[in-house]
Every structure is written in structure tokens, then in C-alpha cells.
Amino acid sequence: MKYKIQVVKKAEVSLSKNLLLSLLAIVSALLAGGIFILAIGHNPLNIYGSIVQGAWRSPIAIKGTIKIAIPLLIASLGITPAFQMKFWNIGAEGQIIMGGIFATYFALFFDHLPHGLLLLLMFIAGMLGGGLWGLIPAYFKTKFGTNETLFTLMLNYIALYLIKYFTEGPWRDPASSGFPKIASFAKNARLDQVLGLHAGWVIGLLLVVLVFIYLNFTKRGYEIKVVGESTNTARYAGMNVKKIVMRTMFLSGAICGIAGMTQVSGAAFTLGEGVAGGVGFTAIIVAWLAKLNPVIILIVTVLFSMLEKGCSVMQSSFGLSTAVSSILQGIILFFILAFDFFTRYRFVLRKSTN
């Protein structure tokens, strides 16, 4: 008689159990990280203390944490509609970049326009850039059935090298006497500040509300969920699945494009190869851990940003290698994702029939 292990999706887990598991995940993650910290000869409590303190210790630190959170929040929200449709958009990174590139075009060549109009143009351009970059894989998926995971992934690299092209080619700063960089934006092309921080945070919070409403209280949001559950059901119900897929991916990309626009105009004031800096990938983890719920995305984003910002401070205050903070972040993430898996699935041992 043979046995085999199967992975089975759990039925809905109750909220209290969910919270308990999440808490357990964080505790185990901290314990495992603590063993690592002990192994390199430091006190885990001191290290964790400096991470939390490093993220919130002063107005500059808080602003720094929020600055990390803004693109992560917006990109996570951007991924959410696509993922609810079970369209695995791994291309947020590229969509952020394209949003940044499109917005930069107006920042560089139309900075004589009135400030409000210019920023509006940059905002629309950013959405368009990200949206079109999201539309391409959607088109090929619906037309030829291409694999969207690989397609969106590959487009990231094309976008990244487009920045390189613009930096070294047509958009090279004329004042840099030949060195490859794009000029810093004129003051006129920079995003305004609200409460001492660029307005990206306001946009991000607005998007939390808008995406929440769109997904839960509109016909289109409902269509996305139906297509996600079963394209056949959607078709049977008379929905135009191709149209829904393309529309949703445009939206997904467009929101990511906003993240790119706020990055170039609010935080970096220029376009460089690091404009997305891995945010598009971290956003997938954030959206997934938050179970694609915009409100929880906001919470998870804040925690992630705190971890990243705090680790950066911890690294320099303890004179540790940056590899240490990467390993620590990796350990913590690993445990949280593993627990997430076990809240969704369980293993069962079944007798093999033959």
C-alpha cells in the first residue's frame, strides 16, 4: 500500500485563527532572525530595537520610512486588480519604470508649462506609460495565449534598459559634458509637498479608497473576480473576458505607472536606473500577504517599509555589512511567507489507490 502527500486548500479560516497564525508567524520570524543575530555576535533585542527606532526616531526618519512606503503602497495596489483576476502580473517593476519614463518626458521638455498643468500631464503620462506596458502582455495573452508570468517579467528588463538608453542617449543632461545622467527636474516639475512630504502619500491613500471601492462595489470589480474564479463562468454569464483582461491589466499597469511618476517627480527629481529599485517585486509579496485587500495592503506596506528603513539604520549604527540586513530581512520574510502558505493550505496523507 502506498501513501502520497497532497496539498489541499483549506476552507475559510476564521479571523481570530488567522490573526493568531499571523502573530505566530511574526514571533517565529523574530526568533529565527534572533538566532542569526546571536550567531554573528550581537544582541537580538538591541538589533530589533534599532530597527524599530531607526524607522521612527525623528521626523527625518519618519519621512524616510513613508518615502519608502509610497511607491510600495501604490504598486501593491496596482498589482491587486490583476491578481484578483488571477493574471500574474510580475511586471510591476517595468510598469513603474515606464510610468517614470513617460512622466520624465514632460518634466524635461515641457517645464515651461504652468505647474498644475505640467503635473497633471505628467500624472496622465505616467498612467499611460504604465498602462500600455501592462496592456502588451494582456493583449498577447488574450490573442495568443502567451504566459503572462514570463511575459510581464521579461518586459521589466526591456523597461530597465530603456532608461539606460535614454540616460546615455537622447535625454543625457546637456550640462554634464558627456557623462551619462539625466538632469535633475526643474522646480516647476516637482511634485508639491503636503505636510513636509511629497504628495505621493496623499495619492497613495486616495488610491487605497478608490481601489477598494472599485474592486468591491462596482460591476467591473465584480467582473474581475468572476474572471479570476473561472473564465468559463464569466463567458457563460455573457462577459467579454478578453476585454475585461485587457482593461484590468491597463488599470493595473496604470496604477503602477503612478508609482513611477511620484518617484521621479516627488522623491528622486530625476530618472535613473534605480527608479523602481525592486519595489515592483516587493509589491507582489505585500499584495499577496495582504490577501489582495487594499486596506490590509496599507498596513503590510507600513511594516515592510519600517523593516527596510530600520535595517538600513541598523546596518550603519552597528557597522554591519549590508548583507546582514539583507539576510535578516530574508529570514523574516521566509517565515512570514511560510506561515502564510500554511494558513491557506494543508498537507494530507492519502492512500494511493493502486
Residues at the site binding another protein, with contacts judged by CB under 8 A: 7, 9, 54, 57-58, 60-61, 64, 67-68, 88, 90, 93, 149, 153, 164, 176-181, 184, 263, 267-270, 272-275, 277-278, 280-282, 284-285, 288, 309, 312-313, 315-317, 319, 321-323, 326, 330, 333, 337
**Region of residue 194 (left: phi > 0; alpha: psi -120 to 50; beta: else):** beta
3-state secondary structure at position 36: helix
Residue whose cell numbers read 518586459: 155
User: How far, in Å, CA of 310 to CA of 69, rounded?
Assistant: 13
User: How far, in Å, CA of 266 to CA of 192, rounded?
Assistant: 7
**Smallest distance, another protein to C-beta of residue 276, A:** 8
**Smallest distance, another protein to C-beta of residue 67, A:** 7
User: How far, in Å, CA of 334 to CA of 97, rounded?
Assistant: 27
**Smallest distance, another protein to C-beta of residue 218, A:** 26
Q: Note whether 32 and 273 are within 8 A (CB).
A: no
Q: Count CA atoms closer than 13 A to 199's CA, side-chain side.
A: 12
Q: Which is nearer to another protein, 109 or 157 (CB)?
A: 157
Q: Which is nearer to another protein, 102 or 185 (CB)?
A: 185
User: How far, in Å, CA of 225 to CA of 212, rounded?
Assistant: 13
**Smallest distance, another protein to C-beta of residue 219, A:** 26
Report CA-CA distances (Å) from 192 to 206, 225, 264, 269: 16, 36, 12, 12
Residues in the chain: 354
End-to-end CA distance of the chain: 8
